[in-house]
Chains A and B, each alone.
Chain A
Amino acid sequence: MKELPTIAELSFELHQGSVRAKDVIADIRNNVSTHEEDVNAYINLYLDDADTQAGLADDAGYLEGKTPVLSGIPIAIKDNICVKGWPCTCASKILEGFLAPYDATVISRLKENGAILLGKTNLDEFAMGASNETSVYGPVRNPLDLERVPGGSSGGSVAAVGYGGAVAALGSDTGGSVRQPASFCGLVGFRPSYGRVSRWGLVAFSSSLDQIGPIAKTVEDAALLYSIIAGPDSNDSTTNPVPPREICLSGDVPNDVKVGIITECFEDLEDKRVEDAVLAPFQKAGIKLQELSLPLVRQSVAGYYLLVMSEVSSNLARYDGIRYGSRISKLGLKETYFSTRGQGFGDEVTRRILLGTFGLSSGYIDAYYNTALSYRAALAEQYEKAFEQVDFILTPTMPSTAFKLGEKIADPLQMYLADIFTASNALAALPCISIPAPKRVDGLPVGIQLTAPRWEDSKLLEFAHAVEQI
């Protein structure tokens, strides 16, 4: 495998003239031919188009301050984000044959900034899963160990960057889908504050939680991608109308920084080696850690899944085979609905639609959906209180390193519990990032997760970058 440069390195070299974008596409082509068959990171890959675009960028030349910042940079896109003219499958049979007629806002912004889009990456069906095993296009494997899962649901995006199939990628994070695979594959995955990045063109899974986030090799790259895709968008009424503050990566740990650790998270950790790996850089840098109790975090998986499934049952109602995607025609409307939806969705998606429908039904909505809503508000309040004492909260991203394919897929509850550290901050709409710990466990990466108060995305990236340098 030919190791690819970071965005920052590549951009520097392109401007220096020491590398051409076409050379990088050629390297990617090589890496793809060696690894793609095993890893299965892409659903659709358009290397010839990428090569043409790279040629155009090279011909136009790279001029500081004149050439768009992502000119010549090849990026992979999770296949639940619409790119005009390309299929958008969400790794589901039900979207077979659907071509997106428009660009997601993040895609328009990448294109305006000169990025070369490589193709669409594999994911858990409709981003529902933590192992990337529910894709109708087959599972994605962890490039570091093909026996293991890459994590999910943005498994394809992470794996592609992991094996040198892309310089960076976009994923989406509902309850950990960017951070968790980043943790399993030793990369950086950033989930912005809910409302920072437009969801226009992101196929909805759980609308009140979905956020698009960058996956990259360094915090610097993640910050660069974030600064391009973030900001208000009239197409998404849930975006913050105030643009994010500019990011200044000094690499220095602020003297008076206060970092809290959630007692409950560390208490529940089975593998103490994960804890050691996560704490090591902080101890090394002499950053004092303050213990915080957030008891509500323990119910976060239950609260998260109640909300998510309810929203899933609503968001996925539109896939009825009437206007687009696959239709399995039967005599009669109801029968056509039953066969189209019954055969179009996989088991995990079906499970969530059924449970969510139940949770919103009259007679049950108070016990389930409404309870989860109140829980969410109380949890956000607990986080807010915690941030009166500390600047950032530190936890492991995942309680373990990457597990093996097939290990959890038969037991949905076990799979859901993998979200134990990534669901609560998502529920509270907070920005959070997973960066690889310097120390591995049994040779496998461990993710350090940092969470900041809502809208403090820039501050979080600056601090994460400093921690990364330790």
Chain B
Amino acid sequence: MQSSKYEVIIGIEVHTQLATRSKMFCRCEVNVDASPNTRVCPICLGLPGVLPQTNETAIELGIKAALALGCEINLESRWARKHYFSPDLPKGYQITQFDYPLATGGELELPGLDKKVRIRRLHLEEDAGKLTHTSRETLVDFNRCGVPLAEIVTEPDIRSAEEADVYLKELRQILRALGVSDAEMERGHFRCEPNISVRPRGQSELGVRSEIKNLNSFKAVREGIERAVKDQIKWLEEGKEIVQTTYLWDERKRKLKPMREKETAADYRYFPEPDLPPLILDIEKVEGIKKILPELPASKRRRLLAEGLSRQDAELLSAEPGWESYFLALLQEDISVKEASTWLLNEARGILTERAENLSEFRIPVKEMASLIVLHRRGKLSRPAAKDLLAAMADSGRAAEELMKEMDLAAVSDEGVIEEAAKKVIDENPDICEKYRKGKTNVIGFLLGQTMKELRGKADPNTVREVLTGLL
């Protein structure tokens, strides 16, 4: 980036959908994919005479997220109404928090960048419905209306698209690790709205901001920010006046489309929500949540690295809660960190990726996975045979030993059998054997491969190598 002459200042707002079963202010099920307008009630439809009732779980999840971000929980926060007209906003206002948010003043460490981003605030609010525009009409689905959201706002501490990317990925990991949100970006669970300004290096006042909405992937966030920075630098160079503008990211054209300028910015007329008393929290309740907070990805990463795991494996384990617990369960079964890394994070994960499945769909229980690893360790199962067995176990969910016998995968340990196979290979490849004898010892690899093939992969390669060298 052309950052030598200019300084880029970025702040980010994230709206993340809280993983509750019911909505923020009514008892409707959260199910955005259900057929349109089937998860609605008088409250979320804003019928005359209804009143909101807060969802305790949503508040607890908000507290969890805020604590994980090192925020101070405000023991008294308040609800407010934010007004605007839209067909997907049934009450004509959104219930949110304004002057008195749930939490303020935290920070997030950017892994690998030796930098912290300050968190300004975290507050709770309700989502709006969804509009679908066809060529003739606009349809509205209220299933999403009233779904709980947490809005997390940073200070303008981010200096590049790269940092924004790291911040968002780390934030997403935390939310997922805590079970606060599924934070699936493509599904709109994790909506990022960066605001970007550029100023000549050394200038103390901030430049004029561009805000970007409709960023549905990390790639889009990066590209959108880079675009905004380039545009602003260009305008500054040209001496053009920059107007505060909100843009929509056009994924297809990879361009920013102006949505509204500051002069036309909405006046939301915030005022205290009279239907809900202030949200008063018990200090004991907050402390209680703090105590049961799971280990955060950053600390987990540090611990796993210390245990000898590669950075990549550590990343994976700290990002996905399921993988870590499976991994730790394997260690409990006396499997070493290296073995677990090889068989779970490489082999098993490879199978799942190939099949486009999640860990939750993985059919091998921890105990059976461990017994496969032990069979291999004891030389009863060669590596290729173990891979075949793993695939078969993943298909059937059956026990390792039983399936190994049934598939006849047990390693050939009888040296006579191995010798017989080795002799056959030597006889069939006189030229290669000649090369070996003349000193080109690396051809042994070929002979080893052929012999293993003869043995259908069931022997320990080290034993085979010994037998081959002996014979040659």
Q: Please state if A320 and B85 are interface contacts (CB–CB under 8 Å).
A: yes
Q: Please state if A200 and B87 are interface contacts (CB–CB under 8 Å).
A: no
Contact pattern, A 229-261, Cβ under 8 Å of B = 1, otherwise 0: 000001111100000000000000000000000
A18-26, A361-369, A458-466 - the one binding chain B? A361-369
Q: Please state if A361 and B53 are interface contacts (CB–CB under 8 Å).
A: no
Which residues 31-53 of B have a CB within 8 angstroms of A? 42, 45-53
A201 within 8 A of B: yes
Partner pick for B48 among A82, A207, A235, CB 8 A cutoff? A82
Q: Please state if A238 and B85 are interface contacts (CB–CB under 8 Å).
A: no
Q: How many residues of B contact A (CB 8 A)?
A: 28
Q: Please state if B42 and A317 are interface contacts (CB–CB under 8 Å).
A: no
Query: Considering only CB atoms, which chain A residue lies closest to B138 in the complex?
Result: A333
Q: Please state if A203 and B274 are interface contacts (CB–CB under 8 Å).
A: no
Given A208-B274, A237-B277, A314-B271: A199 touches B51 (CB 8 Å cut-off): yes
Q: How far is the CB of A308 from chain B (nearest CB, A)?
A: 11
Given A208-B274, A237-B277: A318 touches B51 (CB 8 Å cut-off): no
Q: Please state if B271 and A320 are interface contacts (CB–CB under 8 Å).
A: no
Which residues 350-396 of B have a CB within 8 angstroms of A? none
B191 within 8 A of A: no
Residues of the B chain whose Cβ atoms lie less than 8 Å from the Cβ of A200: 49-51
Q: How far is the CB of B280 from chain A (nearest CB, A)?
A: 12
Residues of the B chain whose Cβ atoms lie less than 8 Å from the Cβ of A202: 49
Q: How far is the CB of A363 from chain B (nearest CB, A)?
A: 9
Residues of the B chain whose Cβ atoms lie less than 8 Å from the Cβ of A317: 83, 85, 91-93
Q: Please state if A102 and B85 are interface contacts (CB–CB under 8 Å).
A: no
A319 to B47, CA, bound (A): 9
Most B-side CB within 10 Å, residue of A90, A98, A235, A337? A235
A101 within 8 A of B: yes
B269 within 8 A of A: yes
A104 within 8 A of B: yes
Query: Considering only CB atoms, which chain B residue lies closest to A316 in the complex?
Result: B92
A358 to B320, CA, bound (A): 50
B75 within 8 A of A: no
Q: How far is the CB of A357 from chain B (nearest CB, A)?
A: 7
Q: How far is the CB of B50 from chain A (nearest CB, A)?
A: 7
A236 to B45, CA, bound (A): 17
Q: How far is the CB of B68 from chain A (nearest CB, A)?
A: 28
B276 within 8 A of A: yes
Q: Please state if A318 and B92 are interface contacts (CB–CB under 8 Å).
A: yes
B60 within 8 A of A: no
A53 within 8 A of B: no
B275 within 8 A of A: yes
Given A204-B49, A317-B92, A318-B91: A237 touches B271 (CB 8 Å cut-off): no
Q: How far is the CB of A400 from chain B (nearest CB, A)?
A: 31
Which residues 95-118 of A have a CB within 8 angstroms of B? 95, 98, 100-102, 104
A310 to B83, CA, bound (A): 12
Q: How far is the CB of B148 from chain A (nearest CB, A)?
A: 16
Contact pattern, A 334-362, Cβ under 8 Å of B = 1, otherwise 0: 00010000000000000000000100111
A90 to B92, CA, bound (A): 19
Residues of the B chain whose Cβ atoms lie less than 8 Å from the Cβ of A333: 87, 138
Contact pattern, B 282-307, Cβ under 8 Å of A = 1, otherwise 0: 00000000000000000000000000
Residues of the A chain whose Cβ atoms lie less than 8 Å from the Cβ of B50: 200-201
A322 to B42, CA, bound (A): 14
4 smallest CB-CB distances across A and B, nearest first, come from A317-B92, A207-B274, A208-B274, A360-B269
Interface residues of A (CB under 8 A from B): 80-82, 88, 90, 95, 98, 100-102, 104, 199-204, 206-208, 234-238, 310-311, 313-314, 316-318, 320, 322-324, 333, 337, 357, 360-362, 365, 369
List, sorted by A's number, 19 A–B pairs whose CB atoms are closer than 8 Å.
Answer: A95-B48, A104-B49, A200-B51, A201-B50, A202-B49, A204-B49, A204-B275, A208-B274, A238-B275, A238-B276, A238-B277, A314-B92, A314-B271, A316-B92, A318-B90, A320-B85, A333-B138, A360-B271, A361-B267
